[in-house]
Amino acid sequence: MGWKQGAAQAKAARGVGTLLMALAVAVIGMTMYMPAHAQIASTRHNLGASGTGINKFSGTTEICVFCHTPHGADTSAAVPLWNRTLPNPNTFTTYDSLGTSTLDGKVAPVGSVSIACLSCHDGVTSMSAVINQPGSGLVTDFNTGTWSGANQIGGVLKDGLITKIGQDLRNDHPIGIQYGGGGLSTTARTGTLRDGDFKMPANAEINGTTVWWVDTEATPNGTRQKTDMLLYTRAAVAGYVGQTDPEPFVECASCHDPHTSNTTFLRIKNDGSAVCLSCHVK
């Protein structure tokens, strides 16, 4: 092979290299600007016919409809545009009834965002039992759609699965529990945690509402992001002297973001127990 030919090949190879690099940059760019649905679409929370998870319902290719509706949502708990009938809080046995002597915080009745998660994870109601079906009920195949996949029967999570949290919450991390044993005031936006083994949460007033969260960055940035541990403000629990003001509580979505493609829907990776150590000082 003459040197000219070799140089031409080398140049061509460099050209291909540049092209590949440009493609790589383009792909990375595309990944960065992927719309949110591209995340949930590839998870077990895509229950529609196009779902890549284990369980699928043939009646629709929609994704959000199993949880949200743009109109006529359930308002019995503070969950955005919720499209499912919520279970009765009294059907659950809460963590505090286990009777550990170390628990400081007050456990409220199952509510807030947790009861929304449990409207599927209690393993009682079919996951296709929504308030508003797609297309104002005009899509008749939603009614006749069938479930497939090994982890459900008729859209109800099966017994024995770890994903079936069930109605007995004594074997689950406490939810509906005051953060840090209580002691924070949402009105004053400050306070002292009764249990000193917790990180002080951050707060901000957004549109007149005080929101609380625990920053997960090594150097807290003081900004609420979906990768922080979100706390959910709940009113004073009736009959509990320790709380007079609405306070931040830990709920299912404090640790989980139902839309993320992170493993087990965690807000951050749990390497080195980073999830646990973002709240607990241990």
Q: For tokens 């291909």, what's the residue? A: 16
Whether 193 and 180 have beta carbons less than 8 Å apart is answered as: yes
Give the residue with the Cβ less far from ligand HEC, 103 or 124: 103
Q: Taking Cα atoms as reference points, which of 255, 202, 193, 250 lies closest to residue 224?
A: 202
Among 49, 54, 124, 200, binds ligand HEC (CB under 6 A): 54
Count the site residues for ligand HEC by CB under 6 A. Answer: 65
Q: For tokens 């493993």, what's the residue? A: 263
Distance separating alpha carbons of residues 28 and 123, to the nearest angstrom? 39
Among 87, 252, 260, 268, binds ligand HEC (CB under 6 A): 252
Among 60, 94, 123, 127, binds ligand HEC (CB under 6 A): 127
- Site residues for ligand HEC, 4-33, by CB under 6 A, read none
Measured from the CB of residue 213, what is the shortest distance to ligand HEC in angstroms?
Answer: 9
Q: Which residues are near ligand HEC by CB under 6 A?
A: 37, 40, 44-45, 47, 53-55, 63-64, 66-68, 79-80, 100, 102-105, 113-114, 116-121, 127, 151, 157, 161-163, 165, 172-175, 177, 179-181, 195, 214, 226, 229, 250, 252-256, 258-259, 264-266, 270, 273, 275-276, 278-280
